[in-house]
Amino acid sequence: MQSKIDARAIEAIIQSRKEGPQPTGVLVGKVDEVIKPKSLLRRTFDYIIGEPLTYLVNWGRLYSLWPTHVETACCSVEIGASAGSRWDIERFGVLEAFGSLRQCDLMLVMGTVTRKLAPRLKLIWDQMPEPKFCIAMGACAISGGLYEQSYNVLQGVDKIIPVDVYIPGCPPPAPAVIDAIVKLQEKIRCMDLKGRVASEAYLRLSPKWRFR
Amino acid sequence: MVEALKIIKAMQSGLRHLFYSRVTRRYPEVDSGLPEGYYSFDPKKGVATAGWKGRHYLEMDKCTGCQLCSFMCDEISNAIIMVEVPEVRFEQNKKSLFPSVDYGRCVFCGLCVDACPFECLHMTPEIRLADYDRKKLYYSPLELSIQPAVGKPSYVVGKRKERVEG
C-alpha cells in the first residue's frame, strides 16, 4: 500500500482548489445570522457575564444528550453495542433508553425511513423542545442507501428534518458512533445562549474568535 | 444458618466485581484497541484477506481509469462516480479518469476492491467519517489518495480544540 506520488503534492492541489471560487455554504440545522460588529458596552457585557453564562449552559447541554431512538433497521444493533459496557456512550451523557420525548435533546435516526414513517418522524421531531439535535446514522438515513430511487423509501431524512451530524457506514461501527457524538459536542460548544448553532465556517474558526 | 450462608454468597459475588479489570475502552482519548489490517483482494490468486472495511485508499499512479469499480457499484448502491482530474496526468491513464466515492451512499461491501484488476483500490481501517455537512461526504480522488492516519486518537475530550476537523 505505498504510492509513488508525494502526499504533499496532492494536498497542495487540494488547497489550490479550495482557494478558488467556492459555492456559498449551505448551512445545516439552525442558521445563524450575519455577524454584526458589536458596541463596546455590549462587548464588555459579553465578556463579563455573557461568555461565562454561555459556557455554563453549554456545559450543561453537552453531557446530558438524552436521545430518542428511532430504530427502524440494523443500525440499532450497533447502538446497542455502543451502549454496552465495552464502548460506553453513557460516558458522554447519551442514555440508551429514555421515556419521554419532552425531555429529549437528541434524535438518533437509525435505518431506513419509509414514506409511511416520515410524517410520524416529523411528529416526533416537533414534540421535542428546543434546543434539539439530530444524528442520521447509516447510508439509509443519509441518502436512501441501497434503496436508491425506491418508491417507498425516503431518500434521506434531511429532506424533512435538519440533520446535525451524518455517520456514514452500513451500519457504522460503535467507534464511529462515539466519534459522531464527540463531533456533536464540539458543535454544541459553539452554541449561542439562544440555542443558535453557528455555521460551519464559523465552527472552523479558532475558539478565541468565537462569541466576541 | 442456611440463610446466613446465602447472604455471604451474595456478598461474595458482589465483591468479586471489585477486582475485575476494566472492560470499557476509553476510546476517543485512547486508541480503540481493535485489530488492525484492511480488506484487500489479490486478483492474480483470487484470494481476499479479511480486515477492516473503512474509507478507500486510491493509488493514482496505478489506476488506469477502466471504470470497473464504477460498473460494479452501479448495481449495489451507485456510490462511485468517475471524475476527471485535470491536474494529474499519468501514462497509463490518458483521460485521467479516477473514481470518487460518495460515502453517504457507500455500504462498504468491498466489491469495488474485488473488481479492480490492477490492485490500486484498497480499503483502510479508517472509520471516522462523520461530518456536519452532507457535501463533505463526497470524497474526490485526490482526497482518496491520501493515506489516513489510523490508530491515532484525533480528539481531546473535555478540552477546547484549536480547530474542528473536517
Digitized pLDDT (tens) for each residue of chain B, 166 residues in all: 889 999 999 999 889 988 888 888 888 777 777 777 788 888 888 888 888 888 898 888 888 989 999 999 988 888 999 998 888 888 888 888 999 999 999 999 989 998 988 888 888 888 888 888 888 889 988 888 888 776 554 454 444 444 444 3
| DSSP letter for each residue of B117-143 | TTS-EEE-S-----BS-GGGGEE-HHH
- Beta carbons of B98 and B141 less than 8 angstroms apart: yes
Q: Which of B134, B87, B27, B98 is nearest to A26 (CA)?
A: B134
Amino acid found at A28: V
The pLDDT, as a whole number, for residue B11 is 92
Instruction: Read off the C-alpha cell for A173.
Output: 461501527
Number of domains in chain B: 1
| Reported confidence tier of residue A203, pLDDT bands at 50, 70, 90 | low
The pLDDT, as a whole number, for residue A196 is 64
Domains present along chain A, CATH in parentheses = 61-189 (3.40.50.12280)
Distance CA A185, CA A191 (A): 10
Q: Which of A51, A144, A68, A80 is nearest to A109 (CA)?
A: A68
Question: For position B110, which CATH number holds?
Answer: 3.30.70.3270
Q: Which of B63, B119, B120 is nearest to B91 (CA)?
A: B63
DSSP assigned state of A47: I
pTM for the full predicted model: 0.81
> Chain A: nearest CA to B9, how far in angstroms?
25
Distance CA B140, CA B28 (A): 27
B77 contacts in chain A (CB < 8 Å) = 139, 145-146, 148
Distance CA B60, CA B88 (A): 9
For the segment A119-144, the average pLDDT, to the nearest whole number, is 90
Of A38-47, A62-71, A143-152, B12-21, the poorest mean pLDDT is in A38-47
The pLDDT, as a whole number, for residue B163 is 43
A 73-132 near B (Cβ less than 8 A) = 85-88, 91
| Reported confidence tier of residue A1, pLDDT bands at 50, 70, 90 | low
The reply to whether B95 falls in a domain is yes
The pLDDT, as a whole number, for residue A119 is 92
Q: Is the peptide bond prior to A207 cis by the omega test (within 30 degrees of 0)? A: no
The reply to whether B142 falls in a domain is yes
Residue A24 has pLDDT above 50, yes or no: no
Nearest to A203 among B88, B106, B164 (CB): B164
The pLDDT, as a whole number, for residue B125 is 84
Inform me whether the C-beta atom of residue B81 falls under 8 Å from chain A C-beta atoms. Answer: no
The pLDDT, as a whole number, for residue B161 is 44
Residue A144 has pLDDT above 60, yes or no: yes
The pLDDT, as a whole number, for residue A116 is 92
Is there a contact between A165 and B128 if contact means CB atoms under 8 Å apart? Answer: no
The reply to whether B66 falls in a domain is yes
The pLDDT, as a whole number, for residue A136 is 93
Is there a contact between A146 and B87 if contact means CB atoms under 8 Å apart? Answer: no
Inform me whether the C-beta atom of residue B145 falls under 8 Å from chain A C-beta atoms. Answer: yes
Is there a contact between A28 and B107 if contact means CB atoms under 8 Å apart? Answer: no
Residue A132 has pLDDT above 50, yes or no: yes
Q: Which of A80, A55, A32, A49 is nearest to A177 (CA)?
A: A80
Is there a contact between A145 and B107 if contact means CB atoms under 8 Å apart? Answer: yes
Distance CA A15, CA A12 (A): 5
Q: How many CB pairs under 8 A join A and B?
A: 139
Is there a contact between B105 and A139 if contact means CB atoms under 8 Å apart? Answer: yes
**Higher pLDDT residue, A50 or A135?**
A135
> Chain B: nearest CA to A206, how far in angstroms?
5
Q: Which of A85, A78, A79, A163 is nearest to B130 (CA)?
A: A163
Inform me whether the C-beta atom of residue A28 falls under 8 Å from chain B C-beta atoms. Answer: yes
Q: What is the domain extent for residue B86?
A: 55-150
> Chain B: nearest CA to A113, how far in angstroms?
15
Is there a contact between B137 and A165 if contact means CB atoms under 8 Å apart? Answer: no
Residue A5 has pLDDT above 80, yes or no: no
Inform me whether the C-beta atom of residue B22 falls under 8 Å from chain A C-beta atoms. Answer: no
Residue A33 has pLDDT above 70, yes or no: no
> Chain B: nearest CA to A38, how far in angstroms?
24
The reply to whether B104 falls in a domain is yes
B147 contacts in chain A (CB < 8 Å) = 1, 3, 7
Distance CA B132, CA B164 (A): 11
Residue B41 three-state SS: strand
Distance CA A134, CA B121 (A): 33
Is there a contact between A173 and B127 if contact means CB atoms under 8 Å apart? Answer: yes
Instruction: Read off the C-alpha cell for B100.
Output: 470518487
For the segment A134-145, the average pLDDT, to the nearest whole number, is 90
The reply to whether B91 falls in a domain is yes
Residues A86-111 pLDDT 10s:
888 888 888 877 778 888 889 999 98
The reply to whether B119 falls in a domain is yes
Q: Which backbone phi and psi does A195 adopt, to 5 degrees?
A: 95, 10
A143 contacts in chain B (CB < 8 Å) = 102, 104-105
Inform me whether the C-beta atom of residue B23 falls under 8 Å from chain A C-beta atoms. Answer: yes
Nearest to A13 among B109, B142, B147 (CB): B142
Amino acid found at B155: Y
Q: Is the peptide bond prior to B125 cis by the omega test (within 30 degrees of 0)? A: no
The pLDDT, as a whole number, for residue A32 is 47
Nearest to B59 among A3, A25, A145 (CB): A3
Distance CA B110, CA A84 (A): 28
The reply to whether B1 falls in a domain is no
The pLDDT, as a whole number, for residue A46 is 74
Distance CA B146, CA B104 (A): 19
The residue of chain B with its CA nearest to that of A188 is B160
Alpha-carbon Rg for chain A, nearest whole angstrom, is 20
The reply to whether B17 falls in a domain is no
For the segment A189-193, the average pLDDT, to the nearest whole number, is 75
Is there a contact between B147 and A1 if contact means CB atoms under 8 Å apart? Answer: yes
The pLDDT, as a whole number, for residue A36 is 57
